[in-house]
Amino acid sequence: MTQPLNGMCVVEIGDSIAGSACTKTFSDYGARVIKVEPFSGNKIRRMPPFKGDIPDINGGAYHLAFDTGKESIIVDYSSNSGLEVLDRLYQLSDLVIFDTTVEKTKKLRSMINGVKYPSTVSITPHGMSGPFQDRRENDMSILAWTTRMYRNSMENMSPLRNAPGSTLVQIGHTAAAVAVGIYWGHQHDQIRRDAEVAGVEAILGNVDTGFVSWIFTGNLPERIGGQLKTRYPTGIYPCKDGYVILSANEEPWFSRLCHAIGHPEILEDERFTKDRENNWHAFMEYLGPYLDQHDKNYIFTHLQEHGVMVAPVLNASDLLDDPQAKARKSFVKIDSAIGEHFLAGAPFHLNKMNDKSFKLESAPKLGEHTNTLLKELDYSKEEIIALFRAKIIG
């Protein structure tokens, strides 16, 4: 049984996690993804961590995780000869993903014109137009442009960032969804399309509801931090061996929680029946000891038995031992440039595909496929040697 995107070819020209995360979706489901890189390698290759803290252009964690199953070709496209290589790659492909500066994207995209060329998706922080189109951002500064960072903080304290890279991964997944749409549209009506994904807009539109709330109410979203102290118990709470997240501020979950922790009398206490929002500290005198005495797995199992919405806050090692993750094969062992290690498995499962729709293959070494690809692009042996000597390819 072939993978669902088998036969599709995607060219990736970019620098960040967003572009790599976007095209990973295609490569893991069977598409051929050709990663165009400079002689120094794309930025994602140089991002730590590295095994043993030893920098390795082929062994960076982000590269190994987000470049799975791709091909790597080194091209210096600042010259006409390099642009000719790109032009042939364009004509080989069904889709091109750009994840670089607006200026460079506009230049490289301008070469794509005509029915024989593919559709494109351009990923930039602020889009291809407007006064901020040339601003460079990272995952933290993009988050700051949305309401998300503002909300992820406690009152009178500094805003908080998301986990490193997570914002860019979300942008990449948005771009992948857009790319699938314009690809199938192109297949259907033979109309080539150029789509652009602005990172700020992707996060604002896909992730956060704070802006929508402000539009209708005129009120700034509450800065919630890790816990809601007026609508408790909702949020993250420490326990014996880590943290759990609770959502039991409303009925029937609040009553169930009170019974589960052995304090049904709370339900008759006027501090909590009439003035709960001002008595968080008093409530924690009941909940706190229960949390301190038990580990997160016990709390999860026990409160679930009582019908309370709860989940353990897992760290990386917890995830590998999680029974649900094991049952779903959420993590896959792979052999790469640094040896065997686990990576995240399929983000979704397809019915009747017997888990064969998704396949993880190791990330490529820098320039690993340059020679093979040039032959496929009808370059002669002599032309390839000349390009190598001129340092157009590597």
Q: Judge contact between 33 and 71, C-beta under 8 A.
A: yes
| CB atoms near residue 134 (< 10 Å) | 12
Inform me whether the pLDDT recorded for 59 exceeds 80: yes
What pLDDT, on a 0 to 100 scale, did the predictor assign at position 226? Answer: 58
Inform me whether the pLDDT recorded for 54 exceeds 90: yes
Percent of the chain with pLDDT over 70: 89
The residues pairing with 34 across neighbouring beta strands, listed in sequence order, are 11, 71
Tell me which of 23-27, 139-143, 183-187, 193-197 is least confident. 139-143
User: Helix, strand or coil for residue 75?
Assistant: strand
What pLDDT, on a 0 to 100 scale, did the predictor assign at position 112? Answer: 92
Is the domain spanning 227-317 CATH 3.30.70.100? The answer is no
Inform me whether the pLDDT recorded for 272 exceeds 70: yes
User: How is residue 338 annotated by DSSP?
Assistant: T
Comparing CA positions, the residue from 240, 254, 266 lying closest to residue 306 is: 254
What pLDDT, on a 0 to 100 scale, did the predictor assign at position 352? Answer: 64
More confident residue, 74 or 334: 74
Q: What is the pLDDT of residues 99-138, one digit of tens each?
A: 999 999 999 999 998 778 999 999 999 999 999 999 888 8
Q: What is the pLDDT of residues 297-320, one digit of tens each?
A: 999 999 999 999 999 998 888 888
Comparing CA positions, the residue from 330, 94, 293, 290 lying closest to residue 192 is: 94
Residue 266: phi, psi to the nearest 5?
-55, -35
What pLDDT, on a 0 to 100 scale, did the predictor assign at position 369? Answer: 97
Domain ranges across the chain:
9-208+328-389, 227-317
Mean of the pLDDT values across residues 73-78? Answer: 96
Inform me whether the pLDDT recorded for 220 exceeds 60: yes
Q: What is the pLDDT of residues 240-253, one digit of tens each?
A: 999 999 989 889 99
Q: What is the pLDDT of residues 155-164, one digit of tens each?
A: 666 666 667 7
Mean of the pLDDT values across residues 53-69? Answer: 94
What is this structure's pTM?
A: 0.86
User: Which of the four pLDDT bands, split at 50, 70 and 90, describes residue 230?
Assistant: low
Percent of the chain with pLDDT over 90: 65
Token representation of residue 198: 């602005």
Computed over every residue of the chain, the mean pLDDT equals 89
3-state SS, one letter per residue, for 170-211: HHHHHHHHHHHHHHHHHHHHCCCCEEEEEHHHHHHHHCCCHH
CA-angle at 179, arms to 97 and 144, nearest 5°: 75
The residue ranges of DSSP E strands in the chain, in sequence order, are: 9-14, 32-37, 71-74, 95-99, 119-124, 194-198, 227-228, 234-239, 242-247, 310-312, 331-336, 339-344
Token representation of residue 233: 């118990």
Question: What class is the 9-208+328-389 domain?
Answer: alpha beta
More confident residue, 206 or 323: 323
Mean of the pLDDT values across residues 323-335? Answer: 87
Q: How far is CA 141 from the centre of its chain?
A: 16
Confirm whether 9-208+328-389 and 227-317 share one CATH topology. no
Q: Judge contact between 206 and 169, C-beta under 8 A.
A: no
Close Cβ partners of 49 (under 8 Å, ≥ 6 residues apart): 60, 61
- Pairing status of strand 194-198 against strand 71-74: unpaired
Inform me whether the pLDDT recorded for 221 exceeds 70: no
